[in-house]
Chains A and B, each alone.
Chain A
Amino acid sequence: MAGIGFELKRLFSKEGFLLKLRANLYASVVVSGPMLLGAILLLGVKYISGLAGASRHEQDLLIVVITYSILFPLLLTSTISYVLSRYIADMLFEGENRRILPSLYGSLSLLLIVGAPGWAVFLYLSKLPIEYSLLSFALFCESLVVWMQINYVTAIKNYKSILIGFASGVLAGLLIGYLFVRLNFDVVGSLLVGACIGYGIMLIVYTIVLHKYFPMGSGSSLKFVEWIDKYPALAFVGFFTTLGLFIHLMLMWASPWGVQVHGLFYHAPPHDIPAILAFLTILVTTVNFVTSVEVNFYPRYRLYFSLLNEGGTLGDIRKVYLEMLTVLKHELFYLAQRQMFVTVIAIVVIAGIIDNIGLGFTTMMIGLFRVLCVGYALFAIGNSVMLILLYFADNKGAVFSAFVFCIINTLGTYYTLSLPENYYGFGLAAAGFGMSVVALLRLSFYTKRLEYFVLCKQPIFVAKKMGLLTRLVHKFDSAN
């Protein structure tokens, strides 16, 4: 007789579901730490070069070359850093530690093959002196490696190493740069060498940390590419958020405020400097997310999903669900409150201090600083909500939020360029606001129907779908 049909496989538990997803969220959170330290490096370089009596042009050149050489690799790695984090989390979960290092070298080769020639062309077109070009090229490659390594170090939650690596690199770089300057070497060259050595130190520290933790590994180094096919949303989230965070800088470089420093190297100091300072104010949310939201929300979150996965009754699930949402609401509220508190202090107190001590700030720049503070604060809140969406596997919602941020910032900044200068910065503010609103609405909509999204929307079966990239990798692997 025909059997009773079949039993549907519970894809759900086999996947280990959402619990693993958490790991990749750290990346985005902790990545802003190094970004902040990068900002400190820039300020340090500027200070030392000023001290050494470098010309205005030399100072500017230093800053733009270093900024460009670490910013573009960051944008490049952002395209795959979320996906890679997910890959690493999956491999860690499955105990496949040996597949992890190969993916680092695979992804590095991939990005270097794309990025390095691109950067070489950029440098060539900029007609930078050859020795600066070489240093910039080295810095580009180093920072690309470092950004990528950070994904891996965060995955093993070795935050201390990240910060130690970064801090020691920045410190050593500045120190060596300073030494060379004192020895009367060319200022720009010295500090570029310093930056290269600084990033070189980070690279070595992270390499040691990673090789200590993971085995040399085996298997395809391009296996992770399949994860781009599997979770394309993560690639978009990473890319849109990072691009959104910097697009207004680039637009300003291209604007009438933009000044050509050398070749294709532009900057817009009246905008750049307030932006870097304002960016520092979201550190509070970065820390808050890890220490408070994570700590208080995550246990409920985990309980909720383990109840779902491991046979919790409807009543229990309901109860934990309500608790989880209550905690989430509180945490997000506190997070926003703290961010706003710091932002208000920045707007009132810090802006006042800057105004008083000068630092070369014009009234216009102080106004811009205030607007950008609000913009980054709103972004920090929206970004946190977006991370929560990712917690709930709402990839669609997360991508949409990130996209809204990126697109409003692009169009908004572009539009404000046609307005009087005191409207500058409102593009970012509108983008942060838009992202927060979209992400919050989505979160509210989604969590109301949470069981529907995590259960019903689950496919009844998994179609073995081979994406384009996966097939390419298979071809590539079999050719070897």
Chain B
Amino acid sequence: MNICIILEGSYPYVRGGVSTWVNGYIRALPEHEFILWTITDLESKQGQFAYNLPKNVVAVNEISLDTALKIRVRKNPKTRFSDRERESLAQLIRCGEPDWQVLLTLFSKQSRSPIEFFMSEEFLDILKEFCNDEYPYVGFVDMFWTIRSMFLPLLYLIGGSMPEADLYHSASTGYAGVLGALASKKFNKPFVLTEHGIYTREREEEILRSDWVVPYFKSLWISMFYMLSRLAYDSAHAVTTLYDRAGLIQQEIGCAADKCGIVRNGIFVDTFGAIPPKSSGDWVDIGAIVRIAPIKDIKTMIYTFSRLKQDFTKVRLHILGGIDDEEYHQECLDLIDYLDVKDISITGLVNIKEYMQQLDFTILTSLSEGQPLAILESLAARRPVVATDVGSCRELIEGRGDDFGHAGICVPPMHQTELLNALVDMCNNEEMRLTMGEVGYKRVKAFYEHEKMVADYQNIYQKAIKSWQESASS
């Protein structure tokens, strides 16, 4: 089978949860051919791969949002639209319910360039109506540029060339979801949507925090991403996520419940299970397998560790992972300096399996997570975990209806005292650590084996194909 995986800003450009998953997943299915359809924000990132592509990747179709800025305007732009087209465009701009099929036909290659739409009188009329109805007290020209900024990349993506495949598989909603949905419509092929994090929510948080979106346009930007997600959910023949709570959010956003399924992350448990326990000594070593980024809340980790150091002299913190955010990295270094904490090492990218031998347990202080590989790997290596209660961390540590027991301690995010207590417990109690480590190993062995995950996705494909056949015949 020829599978087109659609990815946004992850594989193969940057390392991370989704990237690791895609890489392992493709390699586990040598009998299938894969086409990567990847979306980056900047054209300059094209071709800058952080991974060696597996052999069964037959094509990479790269597309960048900023290429939209390079579209040339033709000498005689077509600026007339039929009533149906106009209605769809108006709905699009209002983040309502556009007829995507109409938009797809309209902006497909050779037909119309999005810039022609944004330069047309029709656009101005649609915008004025929208402004009159919904934003009468907002600066009109601000609105004008906001709408242009919002929809130019989207229409550009819609109008781009689409690779043909037997099945489309988007790893997120958003732009990747739109492309998957539209390609599936265009070539009449099944479409599978498997989300790790809930993209819509991530964008929403990002927009709310951002300072480059003017406050009164934030809701507009957010509704655009909700609209995109609705398209992906409506068009998908099967939708999965990593854990129950995320599935409920998908339904809240508008995914039909009967489409939703859960496929848990998987790792090669035994490659970690074979890691020997740490040779005993006086020191307790804590590992944090994280990228240096604000979302990982490394500062709380540093603060808490500095308090831990007041009681325990022989404890070390190893922060293992690449630097994602240079500014934040510097802030962390400054904080370490300011608190004058000893025994924190920030190693950069290392071989986790080797490094794991030196660790007693691991810590994760993220503000947001899906189903972190860091926890799965740590548990597989029989290292218990102290993690914040975000995403499916609690499910991993305390189990989801199994009776293995606790594989670590779950604490509220950003709560230094609770985190400190958990760390103190862990440091004090070697026996507990070993028991918890064993529980962790059993849990991941039972539910989070890579092979199982791959098989689960294959089942989801079958389910999607069946649903697609049904919808075609009905």
What are 8 pairs between A and B in contact, CB < 8 Å?
A2-B39, A8-B69, A313-B136, A313-B137, A456-B119, A456-B121, A457-B119, A460-B69
Q: Does A452 contact B (CB under 8 A)?
A: yes
Leading 10 A-B pairs by shortest Cβ distance: A311-B139, A2-B9, A5-B153, A8-B149, A5-B65, A314-B140, A2-B41, A1-B9, A314-B131, A461-B69
Contact A309 B141 (CB under 8 A): yes
Task: Scan A453-467; emit 1 where CB is below 8 A from any B CB, else 0.
Answer: 001110111000000
Bound-state CA distance A457–B115 (Å) is 10
Task: Scan A433-476; emit 1 where CB is below 8 A from any B CB, else 0.
Answer: 00000000000000001011001110111000000000000000
Task: Scan B268-310; emit 1 where CB is below 8 A from any A CB, else 0.
Answer: 0000000000000000000000000000000000000000000
Contact A2 B69 (CB under 8 A): no
What are the residues of chain A within 8 A of B206 when measuring CB–CB?
Answer: 3-4
Task: Scan B66-81; emit 1 where CB is below 8 A from any A CB, else 0.
Answer: 1011000100000000
A135 to chain B, nearest CB (A): 53
Chain B's interface: helix, strand, loop or mixed, by majority?
helix
Within 8 A of A (CB), among B317-339: none
Q: Does A12 contact B (CB under 8 A)?
A: yes
Within 8 A of B (CB), among A1-47: 1-8, 10, 12
Contact A452 B136 (CB under 8 A): no
Q: Does A131 contact B (CB under 8 A)?
A: no
Contact A314 B128 (CB under 8 A): yes
Contact B120 A456 (CB under 8 A): yes
Q: Does A310 contact B (CB under 8 A)?
A: yes
Q: Does B221 contact A (CB under 8 A)?
A: yes
What are the residues of chain B within 8 A of A309 when measuring CB–CB?
Answer: 141
B152 to chain A, nearest CB (A): 7
What are the residues of chain B within 8 A of A313 when measuring CB–CB?
Answer: 131, 136-140
A296 to chain B, nearest CB (A): 25
Contact B137 A8 (CB under 8 A): no
User: How many B residues have CB within 8 A of the partner chain?
Assistant: 45
Task: Scan B162-198; emit 1 where CB is below 8 A from any A CB, else 0.
Answer: 0000000000000100000000000000000000000
Q: Does B202 contact A (CB under 8 A)?
A: yes
Task: Scan B5-47; emit 1 where CB is below 8 A from any A CB, else 0.
Answer: 0001110000000000000000000000000000111000000
Q: Does A315 contact B (CB under 8 A)?
A: yes
- Where the two chains meet, the residues of B that have a C-beta atom closer than 8 Å to any C-beta of A are 8-10, 39-41, 65-66, 68-69, 73, 115, 118-121, 123-124, 128, 131-132, 136-142, 144-145, 148-150, 152-153, 175, 199, 202-203, 206-207, 210, 212-213, 221
Bound-state CA distance A317–B131 (Å) is 12
- Supposing A8-B152, A311-B141, A452-B121 touch, asked if A2 and B132 sit within 8 A by C-beta, the answer is no
A310 to chain B, nearest CB (A): 7
Q: Does A352 contact B (CB under 8 A)?
A: no
Q: Which of A6, A452, A459, A461 contacts B65 (CB 8 A)?
A: A6
Q: Which of B123, B136, B210 contacts A315 (CB 8 A)?
A: B136
What are the residues of chain A within 8 A of B39 when measuring CB–CB?
Answer: 2
Contact A459 B140 (CB under 8 A): no
Contact A2 B8 (CB under 8 A): yes
A336 to chain B, nearest CB (A): 30
